[in-house]
Amino acid sequence: MEPSAAMREYLAEIYRLQEDSPTVSTTSLAERLDVSAPAVPRMLKRLKNAGYVKHVPYQGVELTDRGRAEALQEIRRHRILEVFLVNVMGFNWDEVHEHADALGAGLTQPIAERMAEMAGNPQRCPHGEPIPASNGQLPENNDTCIMNLAVGHKGTFSRVRTHEPEKLKYFASLGVRPDVEFEIVGRAPFNGPMRLRIGPDEIVLGAELTKSLWVT
């Protein structure tokens, strides 16, 4: 059974949520996909019957190997679309996630691969997320959240892990993007604000923003 566009969207979102938690609840899926709570169990039943997810009692669902493979293909198409929208069509990085969601439903694999060629065969999306290879393999990723690091650490931003347009606009205004170098010059205790040096400038970010920044 070939998954529908809606099924592929669910699988990709389950994969993204599993990056932070081994299992995924119906509540978190409903919030991320902006759908009604009753709609989620119906779709999960379809995905389970098709062999894409399995239920973990009292915890939620997780992808099967088959579901993970399909999710990675969907994520590849989505992230290629994001790069194409930025590099070829000139959209800003804060605009592309929703556009890619809307366009992805009808995107075939041959068109996605041609877009990848036109965009320079990118390895990462505009937000720094790795793009799975055409065979479904993910590039090795050894970054960490900046909140795990101490004052004095120097490194490079690798991923900005948010799709919220206002946050992305604010990060861009501060010069916070993938491949930009930084130094942690101050940090308040108990997950307080973090002070960073980016080039000649210093910026201060609270925990709500720093938790979205992943670095090498």
Q: What does the pLDDT read at residue 140?
A: 81
Q: Which of 43, 63, 83 is the last residue of a domain?
A: 63
Phi and psi for 75 in degrees, rounded to 5?
A: -65, -35
Domain boundary among 18, 34, 63: 63
Average model confidence (pLDDT) for the chain? 93
Closest CA to 17 of 117, 174, 163: 163
Task: Record the pTM.
Answer: 0.88
Q: Flag whether 53 is in a domain.
A: yes
CATH no. for residue 197?
2.30.30.90
Q: Which residues, listed in sequence order, are joined to residue 156 by a DSSP beta bridge?
A: 181
**Structural domain includes residue 107:** no
Tens of pLDDT, residue by residue over 118-175, are 999 999 999 999 999 988 888 888 899 999 999 999 999 999 999 999 999 999 999 9
Query: Tens digit of pLDDT for each residue in 38-94?
Result: 889 999 999 999 999 999 988 899 999 999 999 999 999 999 999 999 999 999 999
Q: Which two tokens stand for residue 216?
A: 């090498």
- Please report the pLDDT score of residue 1 as a whole number: 66
Could you tell me the two tokens for 192?
């307080």
176 Ramachandran zone, left/alpha/beta (phi>0; psi -120 to 50): beta
Tell me the per-residue pLDDT of 165-193, one tens digit each, with 9 for 90 and over.
Answer: 999 999 999 999 999 999 999 999 988 99
Q: Tell me the pairing of strands 194-198 and 154-160.
A: unpaired
Q: Identify the domain containing residue 182 by its residue range.
A: 144-215
Q: What percent of the chain has pLDDT over 90?
A: 80
Residue where a domain stops, chosen among 16, 39, 63: 63
Please indicate, yes or no, if residue 33 is contained in any of the structural domains.
yes
**What pLDDT was estimated at residue 82?**
96
Domain count for the chain, please give it. Answer: 2
Residue 103 within a domain: no
